[in-house]
């Protein structure tokens, strides 16, 4: 799987750890920047990551900023992007399995490198279960989320 990675200046210190974690999990990383700790605006990088996923250049994304909040808000403004803030492994895999999350948002000022590696592994190792027998409720719920997105443009 190809994973897009983007960050602002606050997320930059954790980016290399994330790129290595993606490779270690057997996936390919698409580094969308930023490439330094010079101040930049997180919505620009959230948009860059979202556009890469929507264009089919990556199947999922990992977005980093200081807290993960701003990046998460910005990413979720894009139709077809389903981002979640995850600072634990349970949320990272459950967000994919039950909610079809395609963007993991993490705060570089919240997490250290080792928890971040574990969270990335949980996110990348998960798959949406809504089409599995007995799990249809998840597809139904995700369908309702998509209907809200469509209705509210």
Residue positions annotated with a catalytic role: 65, 98
Q: Give me 102's structure tokens.
A: 């395609």
Secondary structure (3-state) at 112: coil
Radius of gyration of the chain (CA): 15
Contact 14, 108 (CB under 8 A): yes
Strand partners, 65: 107
Alpha-carbon distance 26 to 28, whole Å? 7
Distance of CA 13 to the CA centre of its chain: 17
Which residues, 6+ apart, have CB-to-CB distance to 80 below 8 Å?
50, 53, 54
Q: Give me 86's structure tokens.
A: 């995850």
């Amino acid at each position: 799987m190809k994973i897009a990675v983007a960050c602002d200046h606050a997320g930059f210190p954790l980016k290399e750890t994330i790129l290595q974690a993606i490779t270690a999990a057997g996936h390919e990383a698409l580094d969308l920047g930023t490439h330094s700790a010079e101040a930049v605006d997180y919505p620009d990088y959230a948009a860059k990551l979202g556009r890469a996923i929507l264009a089919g250049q990556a199947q999922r994304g990992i977005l980093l900023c200081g807290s993960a909040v701003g990046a998460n808000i910005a990413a979720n403004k894009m139709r077809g992007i389903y981002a979640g803030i995850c600072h634990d492994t349970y949320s990272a895999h459950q967000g994919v399995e039950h909610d079809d999350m395609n963007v993991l948002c993490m705060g570089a000022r919240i997490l250290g490198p080792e928890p971040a590696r574990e969270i990335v592994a949980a996110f990348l190792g998960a798959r949406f279960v809504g089409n599995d027998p007995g799990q249809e409720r998840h597809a139904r719920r995700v369908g309702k989320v998509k209907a809200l997105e469509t209705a509210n443009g």
